[in-house]
Amino acid sequence: MRLFTVPLLIIVLSACATTQFQSPQPDIDRGEFLLQLAQWDAHMTVVAMTAQQKLKARLHWRQTPQGYTIKLRDFIGRTVAVIESDASGVMARTSNGQRYQGADADGLLADLTGLKLPINGLKYWLQSLADPQQRLELITESKNQLPQMIQQAGWTIHYGSYQYDEKVPMAKNISLDHEDIHLQVKIARWSLEGG
């Protein structure tokens, strides 16, 4: 019995010493899976900075096949604005009841906030994917083949860390830079559905 216990103990201890993450579904192609994903949710904190202003918000981004809903909340948790898109365009509602419409989220947000934020690209960049509708300038990957940096549409996107969903690794800390705009995104929770 003692001869059997020692080798078993060595095997168990050596397994504990090598706890590198392995995807539960290693045969899955991450990029293909995410591009075909029917819907997802991401809860995050965003800090947007320029030389003139600094904005902080909590965001809940819900992506569906029909479009997206982005809820912006202050740090107390009050909804400040809701941005919704569908095939007909983009609408923003503020907490005081004002409504704004536009054909494009980037332009609508620029009109409302003065910041040129890349909402159209963020749908992909949050997932650490290149936007297939934009020319890709550069992408670098880590040794585990997860994007570390994407350069696209004049933005440089750095991925600081990833969290591991039950299906694929998802970005956790992202920084985005374009001219004088710096965005810092920390994603607290992902929910992937329909993959």
19 assigned to some structural domain: no
Residue 142 pLDDT class (50, 70, 90 cuts): confident
Check pLDDT > 50 for residue 89: yes
- Mean pLDDT in the chain? 84
Q: Quick one: tokens of 139?
A: 């992408």
pLDDT band at residue 13 using 50, 70 and 90 as cut-offs: very low
Residue 30, domain member (yes or no) = no
| Full domain range(s) for residue 163 | 38-193
* 18 within domain boundaries: no
Domain harbouring 180, CATH code: 2.50.20.10
Q: Is residue 87 part of a domain?
A: yes
Q: What mean pLDDT do residues 45-62 have?
A: 93
pTM tops 0.85: no
Look at residue 123 and tell me if it is in a domain.
yes
pLDDT score for 15: 34
Contacts for 70 with CB less than 8 Å, ≥ 6 apart: 59, 60, 61, 62, 82, 83, 84, 119
- State what percent of residues in the chain have pLDDT above 70: 84
Q: How many domains does the chain have?
A: 1
In a domain, 25, yes or no: no
